[in-house]
Chain A
Amino acid sequence: MARIIHIKPITRIEGHASIHIYLDENGYVDNTKVAFKSLRGFEKFVEGKPAEELPRIVSRICGICPWMHHIASNKAVDGCFSVTPSPVGSLLRELMLTIAHVEDKLLHFFFLSGADFLIGSDKDYSVRNIMGLVKEKPELTRKVVKIRHKAKMILDRFSRKAIHPVAGVPGGFIKPLLEDERKEFLATMSEVLDFVLFAMEYAKKEVFPQFNDQLPGLGTITTGFIGMVDKDGALNLYDGNLCLMKPDGTRMEFDPADYTDYLAEKVVPFSYGKFPYAKVWDEGFSLDSDAPKGIYRSNTLARINVAKTISTPRAQAELEMFREQFGRPAQATLLYHYARLIEAVYACERAIEILKEPRITHTNVRAKATPKAGRGVGCVEAPRGTLIHDYTTDGNGLITKANLIVGTTHNLAAINLSVDKASKDLIKDGVYDEAILNKIEMAVRAYDP
């Protein structure tokens, strides 16, 4: 008899979502749906608000990556008010964004997804989590908690508010960095880098080999990718062009301000989140798992696929090793975790680089901004993917229109396809158990939605 399996809610992810697996009469998977269930209406309710207030409002889209929304929003307001941010202010924004990436990656790798690999994907749900890790691997977990906290507290100490920040402002940053702070943060970030390098070696031994040995091809699909690159085509999380890569590896770069020429959004009946797709490929949009159309992915694996290189030495060395093993573009979904740690290395190195810039303690952190009519597209890379804030203002600098494409939404179509793949591979003859359903969720968790 045909049946439906519901996984409600998907757990150890940030958002609100559920999986629905439709089995045919023989107990084989007919199709699957992943529903995204949150609609708060930010695009509507920011209308009429002063643009300079938006960086303090839209951060509330996500309490895990508020810095990325905060900074993308500031960049969009810079555009509306035609202000070029102070170079030092921009660097401080990038510093905060970069450190926020580091702590977020540690959070995801160890607190959210880690237990699947370090405790075991088929272990009981009551221990398959960070609380279980504290008991099972106390030394490692204590270290993770401590190091992540140290990185997070840089954001807290310097900007005063680590969750839902206020320190980025149109034209730059609210305050300069003091020399004593610089020295202290540099020492902390060096310690964090050491830990991330240790985590990478640890994962190469304990985690990554499981991808092939125990979970071959879990949720793996073939898609295009999107991510930000600098003028040399190297990975950049803060500023640059967007690079869209076809499944065959062909790249095209464009200015984020022109995103509507390249990407469009699709409404699907079972999701409040819209599904963006690559309209520039001229093939339309299809979620058909045998012949998907227009689908690309964002987030860590996407970024390291589209980037030609990484500008910092240790992360570049890791990227070379990764490419030697998995090629480019790498498509295996679980490799998002590997790419996450490569990016964590980059983010640490980049933060250290910024903290060593002589001008980072200069006090000219903010250019003057005046409310006016305009349009601005602010784009940064959030941990979960390319983040686009597009605002239009009236003559008084109040918002008349906003379009937001947040990191995870780029992956909604891909998450559906990965769940479909994992379900079809794992559920046969109507037989499934909690461990199998958790493995299907792991195909979602890789995207860290």
Chain B
Amino acid sequence: MPVKIAGESLNACSGCEISLLDMGENFLKLLEVVQIVHLPLLMDSKHIENLQNAQVLELPKADIGLVSGSIKTRENLQLALAMRESCDFIIGMGTCATHGGIPALANSYTNEQIMTCCFKTDNTDETDRFPTELVPGLLESCHALDEKIKVDFYLPGCPPHPDHLFNLICALEKGEDYVLPEKSVCDNCSAQREGIGEVTNLKRPLKLPDWKDSQDLENPDQFKCFIEQGFLCMGPVTRDGCGGDKDLARCITAGMPCRGCYGPIQHQGNQKLGILNALSSNGIDIGSLPEMVSLLRFSGGHGRLRPISLKSRKHK
């Protein structure tokens, strides 16, 4: 019997599912050993309401459940619970599922603020009410998956590298364990480091790198460490792996500093506290950051980002 796989995309962009397809011919190899039984992006398997309780959805039974996205609507929650019920092993696929991801940036605001911003604009015809018919209600916060259901394997990444998806599914299919490295992006970065940089005020990443000739490009590892140059780079506090099996950190080899898309190195880690620490130890004045919310841009779930008004209420 082939291993059965089900997938659902919650508050997400479908990038994780596209990463699955970006395996190329490995996707075809995968189809030889697994059977996809539910995956709305690729097949017409529908959500069936339970006859006794319409709030409960029923999905096809599967051995492995790939759940991408965070939980922001009642429907997201309903689907997460249904996937947990129908699948033996749940993979939190992508950083939205593992830590909230970019959509959890919404946690800095109330739903009222978000709706007002979207539905009451200069270019929008005046309306006296927000959409409520047929659309799922919004939850107070955008949650990582494990805030609502048990997760058996965390596969972060925005999106996860196709190598990891392929290796993980193959390992599970054979009944083997699969472990992701718990290293930082810096541990596997080839940029040159000399110790503490000379810059005390952070620079905005608007002028780097300056390519003199193609010679530089063929040796991207001749870069000086971004932090030592005075640029914000989330490498020290971000889990390595975005380059897959063979490559180094993707953004850095493109010439851009890391922004943290693989989430914290350890699941419970706090990327914001970690990076403030790392910057300070490099002699950088953290007051020179243009803003700090973005330091949690991939890991604002788990209650890490909250609306300012709620935060101050709590302090009182």
Contacts and interface: CB of A to CB of B under 8 A. Distances in A.
A242 to B, nearest CB: 15
Contact of A12 (B43, B135, B206): B43
Interface stretch (A124-132, A350-358, A425-433): A124-132
Interface stretch (B185-193, B209-217, B268-276): B209-217
Contacts of B31: 131, 134
Nearest to B104: A45
Given A176-B211, A269-B131, A45 B105 contact: yes
A63 B47 CA distance: 23
B21 interface: yes
A44 B117 contact: yes
A328 interface: no
Interface in A347-397: 361, 363, 365, 368-371, 396-397
A178 B217 contact: yes
B267 interface: no
A265 B254 contact: no
Interface string A140-161: 0110011011001100100111
Interface string B277-295: 0000000000000110110
Interface in A1-27: 7-9, 11-14, 16, 18, 20
Interface in B68-93: 72-73, 75
B22 to A, nearest CB: 6
B118 A44 contact: yes
B246 interface: no
Contacts of B12: 63
A175 B214 CA distance: 9
B43 A11 contact: yes
A9 B25 contact: no
Contact of A371 (B22, B102, B206): B206
Interface string A27-66: 0000001011111110111111110110011001111101
Interface in A152-184: 152-153, 156, 159-164, 166-167, 169-171, 174-176, 178-179
Contact of A161 (B205, B218, B250, B293): B250
Residue among A56, A146, A160, A269 having the largest count of chain B Cβ atoms under 10 Å: A160
A52 B231 CA distance: 13
Given A61-B13, A266-B124, A368-B206, A125 B106 contact: no
A163 B138 CA distance: 27
Interface string B106-129: 101100011101110111110101
B14 to A, nearest CB: 4
A269 B138 contact: no
Interface residues of A, number: 97
A142 to B, nearest CB: 7
Contact of A40 (B72, B127, B259): B72
A285 B124 CA distance: 12
B176 interface: no
A14 B17 CA distance: 10
B291 A39 contact: no
Question: Which among B158, B209, B290 has the greatest number of chain A C-beta atoms within 10 A?
Answer: B290
B101 interface: yes
Given A43-B118, A162-B22, A125 B45 contact: yes
B19 A178 contact: no
Interface stretch (A207-215, A216-224, A270-278, A331-339): A270-278
B129 A52 contact: no
Q: Which of A13, A129, A161, A260 is packed against the most chain B CB atoms within 10 Å?
A: A161
A322 interface: no
B24 interface: yes
Given A60-B102, A63-B15, A164 B159 contact: yes
Contacts of B21: 107, 111, 148
Residue of A263, A266, A274 with most partner-chain B CB within 10 A: A274
A92 B235 CA distance: 27
Contacts of B122: 260
Nearest to A175: B255
B261 A41 contact: no
Given A8-B47, A40-B103, A152-B22, A14 B14 contact: yes
Interface of B: 9, 11-19, 21-22, 24-25, 27-28, 31, 36, 40-47, 72-73, 75, 101-103, 105-106, 108-109, 113-115, 117-119, 121-125, 127, 129-136, 138, 158-159, 204-207, 209, 211-214, 217-218, 242, 247, 250-251, 253-256, 259, 261, 290-291, 293-294, 297
20 contacts: A11-B41, A13-B41, A20-B134, A38-B73, A39-B115, A47-B117, A63-B15, A131-B36, A142-B25, A149-B22, A166-B254, A171-B206, A174-B254, A176-B211, A178-B218, A266-B125, A270-B135, A272-B135, A363-B214, A438-B44
Interface of A: 7-9, 11-14, 16, 18, 20, 33, 35-41, 43-50, 52-53, 56-57, 60-64, 66, 107, 111-112, 125-126, 128-131, 134, 141-142, 145-146, 148-149, 152-153, 156, 159-164, 166-167, 169-171, 174-176, 178-179, 260, 263-272, 274, 285, 361, 363, 365, 368-371, 396-398, 403, 438, 441
Given A167-B256, A371-B204, A396-B290, 8 more contacts: A8-B47, A50-B290, A64-B13, A107-B21, A163-B19, A171-B206, A363-B213, A369-B207
